[in-house]
Amino acid sequence: LKVELGWVLFKCSTYYVSSEKKTWQASRDDCRQRGADLIIINSEEEQSFANQFKVYMWIGLTDLQTEGTWRWVDGTPLSTSYWGTNEPNGARGENCGDIKSFNAKNSWNDEKCANSLNWICEKKVCQ
Ligand code: 2F8
Ligand code: CA
């Protein structure tokens, strides 16, 4: 069994929280190189799990394909959503999702994809 430093198991996925900061796309590339992708949040438990790290971080959410239509990196629409108050407010060209107000249950923000943030990857380990 190969144990990778930095991965945390929660339910049926393992998650990697970076210690560096990168753009959204470079963060996604990093996850993919690790055999994962940016996190897809589809339950309240997973949202609470992601919030516990108390760090601004990119998640697998973007409306780059169709402005105003937020989708997960696997192409699925949002099943649950935890946008922060008045978010997404993308007027300034913010097309990538991050966790920002992590002290609130509703913590998602849209952010400029070119900004550098920490990120969280997810790899499914069972169904
Ligand atoms: O108030 C919410 C707002 O806060 C910042 O803009 C002032 C965020 N941008 C950056 O931190 C660069 C916005 O994404 C966010 O909506
Ligand atoms: Ca925003």
Please give the DSSP secondary-structure letter assigned to residue 78.
P
Separation of CA 87 and ligand 1 centre (Å): 9
Residue of minimum CA distance from atom 9 in ligand 1: 111
**With b meaning 16 or more CB within 10 Å and e meaning fewer, what string describes 91-126?**
eeebbbbbbbbbeeeebbbbbebeeebbbbbbbeee
| Residue among 91, 84, 98, 42 at smallest CA distance from 67 | 91
Which helix (H) or strand (E) covers residue 26, if one does?
A: helix 24-33
**CA 29 to CA 15: how far, in whole Å?**
15
Q: Which atom of ligand 1 is nearest to the CA of 110?
A: 14
**CA 33 to CA 63: how far, in whole Å?**
23
**What is residue 120's predicted lDDT score, i.e. its pLDDT?**
97
Q: pLDDT tens across 101-118, in order?
A: 878 899 999 999 999 999
Residue 3: pLDDT band (50, 70, 90) is low
Q: pLDDT tens across 55-102, in order?
A: 999 999 999 999 999 999 999 999 899 999 999 998 679 999 999 987
